Amino acid sequence: MDWHETIFELIDMRSFSNLWFWIALAVVWSTASHWVLGVPYDMVARARRYGGQASDDLDDLVRINTNRLLFIGRVSGLWLLGFTCFILTGLALLGFVYRIEFAQAVFLLGFPMSMVAALNLSTARLIQSEAAQGELLWKRLSRHRTYVQAIGMVSIFVTALWGMYQNMSVGPFGS
């Protein structure tokens, strides 16, 4: 037996039956819900609880990240949108038309994250147009986090259903 056969037997290369895929899915969504517009959510809680310098730090960090996101959106937003749509369309075709399981898994990670990216841009634009600070900023960031968590829950549910279907239809009892 060759060394690469041993490795492929040890590490299952099918995405939905691989523990590493599910760990990556959990890490992606926990990270996405913790970092709200590039700001760790514990800073929002600290600013709400203590105010003062913590609130000023949060306002500054959100202003910096909001300006950065909106600048990237203005300068290269259409290129990024086109490239993202190209990649996601290619993954969807490879995964669901040509039945490549790895492409399905990457699509089920990437498509919801693209919705989170669009939500980030929308929230950044809203925060900047309102010049949100203090209580209004905390509410915006909390609402944004709730939306990201809702997208994550739906995404994890759909991915789990699709993964179970794939494992049952392709596994030892499937075709």
pLDDT of residue 3: 74
- CA–chain centroid gap for 23, Å, is 14
pLDDT of residue 8: 63
Indicate the residue type of 70: L
pLDDT beyond 90 at 161? yes
Could you give the percent of the chain with pLDDT greater than 70?
91
Closest by alpha carbon to 120, among 69, 44, 63, 59? 69
pLDDT of residue 174: 46
For 104-155, how does the pLDDT look when each residue is reduced to its tens digit (9 = 90+)? 999 999 999 999 999 999 999 999 999 989 899 999 999 999 999 999 999 9
pLDDT of residue 123: 97
Please tell me the distance from the alpha carbon of residue 20 to that of residue 118, in angstroms, as a whole number.
27
For 38-85, how does the pLDDT look when each residue is reduced to its tens digit (9 = 90+)? 999 999 999 999 989 999 999 999 999 999 999 999 999 999 999 999
pLDDT of residue 33: 95
Unique residue bearing structure tokens 């609130």: 55
pLDDT of residue 106: 96
pLDDT of residue 169: 84
Per-residue pLDDT band at 18 (split at 50, 70, 90) = confident
Please report the sign of the dihedral spanned by the C-alpha atoms of residue 149, residue 110, residue 103, residue 13: negative
Q: Residue ranges of the alpha helices (H) in the chain? A: 3-10, 19-34, 41-50, 52-92, 101-130, 134-170
Please tell me the distance from the alpha carbon of residue 145 to that of residue 168, in angstroms, as a whole number.
34
Please tell me the distance from the alpha carbon of residue 125 to that of residue 121, in angstroms, as a whole number.
6
pLDDT of residue 172: 55
pLDDT of residue 171: 56
Please tell me the distance from the alpha carbon of residue 28 to that of residue 106, in angstroms, as a whole number.
12
pLDDT top residue among 169 and 103: 103
